[in-house]
Amino acid sequence: MNKYDELIIKYFDEQLSVDERKEFEHELEINAELKDAFKNYKKVNERFSTKDFLLTNQDYFNEIVSRFRQKLDKESYVSPVRKIGFTFAAILLIISSYLLFQNYFFNQGVTNYSIESITDNLSEKEMNELADYISDDFWNPISGGEKLPILEETDLSLEGVIANVSIEEGVKILSDYQINDLYSLANEDELEIAYNEILQKGFIKEVIK
Amino acid sequence: MFEYRMTEIKNDQKLVKEFISGNESAFNRLAKRYQEKIYWHARRMTGNHLDADDIVQQVLLVMYKKLKTFNFDSSIYTWIYKITSTRSLNLIKRNKLRSFISIDNIIETRVTAKEDIISDLETKERLEKVERLLQRISPKQREVFIFRKFDELSYEEISGITGKSIGALKANYFHAFNKLKELIKNE
Cβ-defined contact of A53 to B123 (cutoff 8 Å)? yes
Amino acid identity of residue B54, one-letter, is D
Both A173 and A131 in one domain: the answer is: yes
Residues on chain B touching A99 (C-beta within 8 angstroms): none
- The answer to ipTM > 0.95 is no
Q: For B96, list phi and psi in degrees, rounded to 5.
A: -65, -45
Please check whether residue A107 touches B, CB under 8 A.
no
A186 contacts on B by Cβ (under 8 Å): none
Look at residue A186 and tell me whether its pLDDT is greater than 90: no
Chain A positions in Cβ-Cβ contact with residue B40 (cut-off 8 Å): 54
pLDDT of residue A98: 67
Residue A96 pLDDT exceeds 80: no
Chain A positions in Cβ-Cβ contact with residue B149 (cut-off 8 Å): 48-49
Amino acid (1-letter code) at residue B186: N
Asked if residue A102 and residue A28 are part of one domain, the reply reads no
Element (H, E) at B85: helix B76-101
Closest Cβ opposite residue A6 in set B35, B150, B174: B174
**Residue A115 pLDDT > 60, yes or no?**
no
| Residue A16 belongs to domain spanning | 5-48
- Give the fold, CATH level 3, of B118-187: Arc Repressor Mutant, subunit A (1.10.10)
What are the C-alpha distances in Å from A165 to residues A107, A168, A188, A198, B22? Answer: 21, 8, 22, 11, 44
CA distance A83 to A186: 13
pLDDT tens track for B48-106: 999 999 999 999 999 999 998 888 888 899 999 999 999 999 999 888 877 766 555 55
Q: Which of B181, B182, B187 would best serve as a mutation to test chain A binding (most A beta carbons within 10 A)?
A: B181
In-domain check, residue A177: yes
CB contact (8 A) between residue A68 and residue B133: no
CA B65 to chain CA centroid, nearest Å: 19
**A186 near A89, Cβ under 8 Å?**
yes
Does residue A58 form part of some domain?
no
Task: For chain B, say whether A32 makes contact (Cβ under 8 Å).
Answer: no
Residues with Cβ within 8 Å of B79's Cβ and at least 6 positions away in sequence, in order, are B70
Would you say B88 and A96 are in contact if contact means Cβ atoms under 8 Å apart? no
Min distance A201 CA to chain B CA atoms (Å): 22
Same domain, A93 and A44: no
pLDDT at A17: 94
Pairwise CB contact (< 8 Å): A48 & B180: yes
Task: Tell me the shortest Cα–Cα distance from B7 to chain A, in angstroms.
Answer: 23
Determine contact: A30 vs chain B, CB below 8 A: no
- State the Cα–Cα distance between residues B20 and B71, nearest whole angstrom: 11
* B20-37 CB burial, b ≥16 within 10 A, e <16: eeeeeebbbbbbebbbbb
**A183 half-sphere exposure, CB direction, 13 A CA radius:** 14
Nearest chain A residue to B171, by CA = A6
Q: Do residues A105 and A203 both lie within one domain?
A: yes
By Cβ distance, the residue of A9, A60, A103 closest to B177 is A9
Give the model's pLDDT for residue B67.
92
What confidence score (pLDDT) does residue B111 get?
A: 46
| A87, A157: one domain | yes
Beta-carbon contacts below 8 Å between A and B: 110
- A175 and A85 both lie in a single domain: yes
Contact B83, B62 (CB under 8 A): yes
Q: What is the 3-state secondary structure (H, E, C) of B18-50?
A: HHHCCCHHHHHHHHHHHHHHHHHHHHHHHCCHH
Structurally, chain A folds into a number of domains equal to 2
B1-117 under CATH 1.10.10.10, yes or no = no
Q: What is the pLDDT of residues A5-60, one digit of tens each?
A: 999 999 999 999 999 999 999 999 999 999 999 999 999 988 887 555 566 778 88
Q: Give the one of B39, B57, B177 whose C-beta lies nearest to A71's C-beta.
A: B57
For chain A, the helix, strand and coil percentages under 3-state DSSP, each to the nearest 5: 70, 0, 30
Residue A149's pLDDT is what?
Answer: 40
User: In this structure, is residue A154 part of a structural domain?
Assistant: yes
Q: What is the CA radius of gyration of chain A?
A: 26
CA nearest B60 in A: which residue?
Answer: A68
Tell me: do A27 and A129 sit in the same domain: no
Candidates A77, A73, A70, A87; CA nearest to A181 is A87
Angle at B34 between CA B30 and CA B38, to 5 degrees: 140
Burial string for A111-149 (b: 16+ CB within 10 Å, else e) reads: eebeeeebeeeeeeeeeeebeebbeeebeeebeeeeebe
| Domain parsing of chain B, residue ranges | 1-117, 118-187
Instruction: Judge if A125 and A189 occupy the same domain.
Output: yes
Confidence category of residue B34, pLDDT binned at 50, 70, 90: very high
**For the segment B121-174, what is each residue's pLDDT rounded down to a tens digit?**
888 888 889 999 999 999 999 999 999 999 999 999 999 999 999 999 999 999
User: Which own/partner pairs from A110-114 qualify as long-range (CB within 8 Å, at least 24 positions apart)?
Assistant: A111/A152, A111/A153, A111/A154, A112/A150, A112/A152, A113/A150, A114/A147, A114/A150
Q: B45, B93 in Cβ contact below 8 A?
A: no
Search chain B and give the residue with CA nearest A101.
Answer: B101
Q: Residues of B with CB below 8 A from A61's CB?
A: 35-36, 39, 117
- Could you report the per-residue pLDDT of A118-169, keeping only the tens digit for each? 556 666 666 666 555 554 444 443 333 333 443 344 444 555 555 566 655 6
For chain B, how are helix, strand and coil distributed in percent, rounded to 5?
Answer: 80, 0, 20
Share of chain B above pLDDT 70, in %: 90
Output the average pLDDT for chain B: 88
Q: In this predicted structure, what is the pLDDT of residue A84?
A: 72
Any domain includes A69: no
CA distance B54 to A131: 25
Pick B35's closest partner by Cβ from A15, A61, A138. A61
CB proximity A49 to B under 8 Å: yes
Which residue in A has a C-alpha nearest to residue B95's C-alpha?
A: A133
Residues A39 and A101 in one domain: no
Min Cα distance B38 → chain A (Å) is: 11
B120 vs B164, residue with greater confidence = B164
Question: Cα(first)–Cα(last) distance of chain A, in Å?
Answer: 65
- Kindly identify which residue of chain B lies nearest to residue A51, measuring between CA atoms: B150
Name the pLDDT band for B45 (thresholds 50, 70, 90). Answer: very high
Q: Is residue B145 classed exposed, middle or buried when 0-12, 13-18 and 19+ CB atoms within 10 A define those classes?
A: buried
